[in-house]
Structure 1
Amino acid sequence: MSDHTDVYLDHNATTPIAREVADAMWPYLTEHFGNPSSASSQGRTARAAVDLAREQVAQLIAAHPDEVVFTSGGTESNNLAIRGSAAVATPHVAVTSQIEHPATVEPLAHIATQHGWAVHELPVDTECRVRLDEFPSGRVGLGTLILAHNETGAIQPVAEFAARVHSAGGVVNADAAQSVGKIPVAVDDLDVDLLSIAGHKLYGPKGVGALYVRRGTGLTPVMRGGGQEGGIRPGTEDVASIVGLGTAAELAAGLLVSEADRQSDLRDLLWDRLAAAVAGLVRVSPVEGCLPNTLMVAVPGRLGAQLLESMSGLSASTGSACHAGTHTPSAALLAMGIDHATALGALRLTLGRGTTRDEIDHAAAAIVEAVRAS
């Protein structure tokens, strides 16, 4: 690997489009341009492609094809799940966690402020796992929980959460944008009614996603228009992107086990290298029950953002945000009980299918050098 080559350890932010995905999409960007709602031959070709993609996505999550609704991505899927089910659910009580993605937090805030819902946020433990012993008593209308945390990689007890929500009379949504394609996801095993998927998190294109809607689940459309996607998500389907998502889903199914093993081995190697060289380094990601590609660490007394800026040839993320020069630590890390100063030193290192051992060596050396120089 040449010195100027960038090592990309930011796969939880987005993944590159797989070559097989791009190849599958190309004909639908060029010659097969039909509207899938049209009765023309071009339209029938497009409809067949959408139908196949629906089957591919359904197979990846062990669902029925008619339970898959195509959307523009994880954010729309979560909005449709939360706002669409809230429109028909009672009572107006929702249960979630303190570590949700904004794609869940904001729709919940909307139903709270606009429709009078009470939102109960469950705390998490020191491993970033939701504490179900804090589940409220009484009836609920909706429960929504992230399946695997986008920063720490901690996999949540969604099936146990779903059992509690169902016992309390509610509908269950899982934000699986960061999980599908990385770990096995089966909707019946999770016992969820709704589940969100984002194409660009599993080597598909940006701007496309899906929402699993269990048969019989009440859902009101958020947008109004034509009758596409079973009347749940109007608008002419983006056939090329949907084909890409379907291909990405099929590809992920075939690589799930081998890539999980390979990436987790490399992730553990990266941790071993860093822990041996950086005194006091904190492993934020849990050792067990974690996405195989995700390693979040924290360097006490340092700013993760400054460390990243000083590294040459490494793309990664931090656990903090910067607004007007002021650094704010990740709310999830604070919820875990990590102190403010340590949380500011967080680095999220997320591997992918293209990550090699040489790149892990390069990344470890770059991080260690940046810490020592800071």
Structure 2
Amino acid sequence: MNYPAYFDYNATTPVDPAVLEVMLPYFSMHFGNAASRTHVFGSKAEEAVSTARKQLARLLDADPKDVVFTSGATESINLALKGVWEANRHRGNHLITVSTEHKAVLDTCEHLAHLGAEITYLTPDSEGLIRAEQVEAAIRPDTLLVSVMVANNETGVLQPIQAIGAVAHKQGVLFHTDATQAVGKIPLSWAGSPIDLLSLSGHKFYGPKGIGALLARKSVALTAQQDGGRHERGRRSGTLNVPGIVGLGEAARLAQNLLPTEKDRIAALRNKLEAGILGQIPQATVNGSRQYRLPNTTNITFAGVDGELLLLSLNEIAVSNGSACTSATTLPSHVLKAMGLSDDLAYSSVRFSLGRFTSEEDVNTAIRHVVTVVNRLA
């Protein structure tokens, strides 16, 4: 079977062969439970988990003790938002987020609102950016938490999280960031940052699916969302996914080593793809800031083209028109709508996201194919 060229790395990445190689023994030979410390099988598993915890912490310049392993970013976000709200309701009942956040944040906020929480949703400008001043103006005496993602999954837009976190801390408010799309793509430092909680998923940077982490500072009061064993220092119960954790650790190690050169190579390919499309399709425009964005992402609107027909016709490349978590819906992108695009323009927008295994040949194929299809449909 001839697979299309893959341009959907923001949805998921392939497991790096080196990651798979280190994982395999932990499915069979080293199959022990990391909590079973009385024999060699458990000790071997516990040692592997400890190594992976250090590898992930090293990538993010963090304390390994702040790492809580989860099943992925969605669980991490739920633990962060629900956990903070439940543990701190005596202090307040108000949370602040942004209307362009991933549904894992927005749906969790909606759940909390049904339980009585008050949520403020900030609106970005036409480039998808919010300002620290907007956050500061929204903070109230009863505000518990601000949650703003590092990088948007649809547009790649990078928010000024250092400034936002500083504003939150000045008012005594906790700051959570969904770093799912940023980890492994751009440098991030936990040490000395104003971030109190950080969510991530392994499968976004060449690790396996079903494993992620929440970084949570020891000073943060957090109510566990899963009970039954008090694993992960009492913050997340459940038998640890040792093969997945090993894979996450190796993915973090690879990312740390490859990041300096990989981000520049991928950015150059993204820029070539973008220039090739925009240069031949006059009605094509880029959505979101072109100055503050991930090196691998471009979101392009093809005005006057039927969006559904466009995606169906782009059969030589794998792309999407929004978050993989909402691709089954027929609604226009909530991210692009919040940035001021009409329904028609949002429907006719395509996200291209590149990655470690994207080649120049892939980019050439994409440019040729997109130009041919759009000109035929226009």
* TM superposition score normalised by structure 2: 0.94
Does structure 2 conserve the Cα–Cα contact (< 8 Å) formed by 1:318 and 1:347?
Answer: yes
Q: Deviations over 1:308-362 (max 9, x none)?
A: 21123210101386778xx422111111112322121100000011101111000
Aligned to 2:370: 367
Query: Aligned equivalents of 1:251 and 1:322: distance in 2?
Result: 30
Query: What is the deviation of 1:93?
Result: 0.7
Worse-matched range after superposition: 51-60 or 336-345: 336-345
Cα distance, 1:110 vs structure 2: 1.5
Question: In the alignment, what sits opposite 1:45?
Answer: 44
Q: What do residues 235-287 of structure 1 show as CA deviations (whole Å, max 9, x unaligned)?
A: 11010000000000000011112111001000000111101111211111421
Number of aligned residue pairs: 369
State how far apart, in whole Å, the 1-side matches of 2:139 and 2:214 are.
29
In the alignment, is the contact (CA less than 8 A) between 1:297 and 1:347 conserved in 2? yes
2:59 alignment partner in structure 1: 60
CA deviation map 1:89-127 (0-9, x unaligned): 22111011110111111111122111x111011110111
The TM-score, its normalising length taken from structure 1, stands at 0.95
Give the distance between the partners of 1:190 and 1:313, measured in 2 at CA.
43
Instruction: Indicate how the Cα distance of structure 1 residues 322 and 40 shifts in structure 2: closer, same or farther if over 3 A, else same.
Output: closer
Give 1:290-301 correspondences, 5 Å limit.
290-301=293-304
- Distance in structure 2 (CA, Å) of the matches to 1:252 and 1:17: 12
Deviation at 1:305, TM superposition (A): 2.9
Deviation, 1:215, is: 2.2
Deviations 1:29-73 (A, max 9, x none): 110011111121100000000000000011111110000000000
Please state if 1:144 is matched with 2:143. Answer: no
What residue is the counterpart of 2:201 in the other structure?
A: 198
**1:172-183 equivalence runs, <5 A:** 172-183=175-186
SS in 2 for 1:121: strand
1:182-228 alpha-carbon deviations (Å, 9 max, x no partner): 01111235410000010000100000000001121111101111021
After TM superposition, give the deviation of residue 293 of structure 1 in Å: 0.4
Is contact 1:319–1:343 with CA below 8 Å preserved after alignment?
no
Offset of residue 304 of structure 1:
2.8
How far 1:369 moved relative to its partner?
1.1
RMSD in angstroms over aligned alpha carbons?
Answer: 1.5
- Secondary structure of 1:15's partner? coil
Distance (Å, rounded) in 1 between the aligned partners of 2:131 and 2:114? 26
SS in 2 for 1:225: coil
Tell me the distance in 2 between the aligned counterparts of 1:319 and 1:80: 25
Equivalent runs, 1:93-112 vs 2, <5 Å: 93-112=94-113
Cα pair distance change 1:301/1:322, threshold 3 Å: farther
Match of 2:86 in 1: 87
Q: Give the letter for the 1:263 counterpart.
A: I
Structure 1 gap ranges (5+): none
CA distance in 1, matches of 2:127, 2:27: 44
Residue matched to 2:229: 226
What corresponds to 2:31 in structure 1? 33
Q: Report SS of the residue matched to 1:219.
A: coil
Question: Could you tell me the percent identity over the aligned residues?
Answer: 38
Residue 266 of structure 1 corresponds to: 269
Secondary structure of 2:146's match?
A: strand
**Does residue 117 of structure 1 match 2:117?**
yes
Q: Take 1:66 and 1:315, find their aligned partners in 2: how far apart are those partners?
A: 39
Counterparts of 1:276 and 1:157, CA distance in 2: 30
